[in-house]
Structure 1
Amino acid sequence: MKALIFAAGKGTRLQPFTNFHPKALAEVNGIPLLERNIKYLQSHGINDFVINVHHFGEQIIKFLELKNNFGANIEISDEREKLLETGGGLVFARDLLSSEESFLIMNADILTDLNISNFLKFHLDGNNFVTLAVSDRQSSRKLFFDKEMILKGWKNLGTNETKMACDNDNFRELAFSGIHCVHTSIFEKITRNGKFSIMDEYLDMMMTEKIIGYEHNANLIDVGKPESIQQAEKLFL
């Protein structure tokens, strides 16, 4: 299975580092995030990657060349002309992913010890359309799931903005982990184009498609700001 790693973001919360470098090359205990995640996925048997780039994208390309792609098969989805966010970035990389039955998506700034092998097996065994890794942790945005772990809604806890497929007081509220497995048929169902968030598409698709949550209790840190790097360095040596 191929993995799409989103590495294009500007990482404004990691300034001043990201004033001169891409967020994906921020280091945790001396090892860049992108390197950590490539090796992490390789440890679960994934060796084919698509990596999107935008902000200081040339630094990522040169870094991978210097490291001989860590022995992996890596294709670059080059968004340096225009940043497309997660949904637009996925559509832009379509030609590099459409030969797959399903593919993994992961944000470059996520560090986790989630057992990806078990996650992928769950997705494939269930013949799922989309599987979202989720956990019960503090987050400003929550996804709502019914008792069968089917996505039914979303809420921004800061603004109280909500999007719901139906009303229910018994939904489980879980946080998205930035890791998803997607069936390639998604490209036929995405309605947006240009720059957009894939989560907006998921929230539209939940009205007609089964988007499944995979709950885990693995360590997971969104390395989006300097203090999260300090936290990550305690867990990921």
Structure 2
Amino acid sequence: MRHALIFAAGLGERMRPLTNHTPKPLLPVGGKPLIEWHLEKLAAIDVRYVVINTSHLAEQFPDALGDGSRWGLRIRYAYEGPTPLETGGGMLNALDLLGPEPFLVISGDIWTDADFRTLPAEPAGMGHLLMVDNPAHHPRGDFSLDAKGVLHDGDALPRLTYSGIGMFRRELLHDWRAVVDDAGATETPPRFKLRPLLERAMSLAQLHGSHHRGNWTDVGTPQRLAELDERLSRP
């Protein structure tokens, strides 16, 4: 894999007041900005091009991260305007910067010890999602994973939580207007969630996944940020 997209455009409303002056992916944890953990992991698996989508306090990202050369990366920024475009709109907005090959997507507000090399460089179907055990704040989970590694949106099997990490083909966004009915989809640029496109792919058995049983944290509140910082700061 050569390209990766890091979602970093969110407003971080649940993290206020910490995010009043700092975007959530730039909040320090374990001695460095949260997003830097991702950049180091990407550099270690020979990803060379990273797109970071931005909105809230966007100017702080190039100030903090530069062009990525300190990690051996080339970082490009996809500014979404003052209002974030959601996950689907954000991916669509960044698509021209990601090249024709499948690309790795990472939410900028999570931390994990997952090895990104376990994700298939050429996912079967439209994509491959890394799934994790359901955290306490999301007990119902998102999707089910069967024994063949195919994802389903149902309750016949135990549900897991989407980690915010996955490999995607750009074809996932093909004909997206036929699937998405978000009000923001008519705006310029379009603003919509990725989930309807994932649901379409699942209905066609075109979305696969794997279960990461290691550490993973959705850094969604100041308390979870503090707990993660304490854990990562231990000698």
TM range (shorter): 0.7 to 0.9
Contact 2:124 / 2:206 at 8 angstroms: preserved in 1? no
Equivalent-residue separation in structure 1 for 2:221 and 2:22 (angstroms): 14
- 1:84 — aligned with what? 85
Letter in 1 for 2:26: L
Contact 2:124 / 2:207 at 8 angstroms: preserved in 1? no
Compute the displacement of 1:68 (Å).
Answer: 5.0
Q: What count of residue pairs does the alignment treat as equivalent? A: 219
Equivalent-residue separation in structure 2 for 1:183 and 1:225 (angstroms): 31
4+ runs deviating over 3 angstroms: 66-71
Q: Which has the larger strand fraction? A: 1
Structure 1 segment 22-171 matched on structure 2, within 5 A: 22-65=23-66, 70-97=71-98, 99-121=99-121, 124=122, 127-138=124-135, 139-140=138-139, 141-153=141-153, 164=154, 169=156, 171=157
Equivalent-residue separation in structure 1 for 2:225 and 2:31 (angstroms): 11
Compute the displacement of 1:17 (Å).
Answer: 1.1
Compute the displacement of 1:66 (Å).
Answer: 8.5
TM-score by length of 1: 0.84
Equivalent-residue separation in structure 1 for 2:232 and 2:170 (angstroms): 32
The alignment status of 1:214 with 2:210, answered yes or no, reads yes
2:220 to 198, 206, 224: 224
Q: Give the direction of change, closer, same or farther, for the CA distance of 1:22–1:209 in structure 2 (3 Å limit).
A: same
Structure 1 segment 192-203 matched on structure 2, within 5 A: 192=180, 193=185, 194-203=190-199
Equivalent-residue separation in structure 2 for 1:88 and 1:225 (angstroms): 24
Note the aligned Cα RMSD (angstroms).
2.0
Letter in 2 for 1:212: H
The alignment status of 1:175 with 2:161, answered yes or no, reads yes
SS of 1:214 mapped into structure 2: strand
- 1:9 — aligned with what? 10
Equivalent-residue separation in structure 2 for 1:82 and 1:111 (angstroms): 24
Compute the displacement of 1:69 (Å).
Answer: 5.6
Gaps of 5+ in 1: 154-163
Percent identity over the alignment is 30
Contact 2:68 / 2:74 at 8 angstroms: preserved in 1? no
1:105-152 deviation digits (Å, cap 9, x = unpaired) = 00011111101111235xx2x534210000223224331233323222
TM-score by length of 2: 0.85
Equivalent-residue separation in structure 2 for 1:53 and 1:148 (angstroms): 36
Letter in 2 for 1:185: E
SS of 1:144 mapped into structure 2: strand
Letter in 2 for 1:34: I
- 2:201 — aligned with what? 205
Equivalent-residue separation in structure 2 for 1:223 and 1:92 (angstroms): 24
SS of 1:93 mapped into structure 2: helix
Letter in 2 for 1:183: R
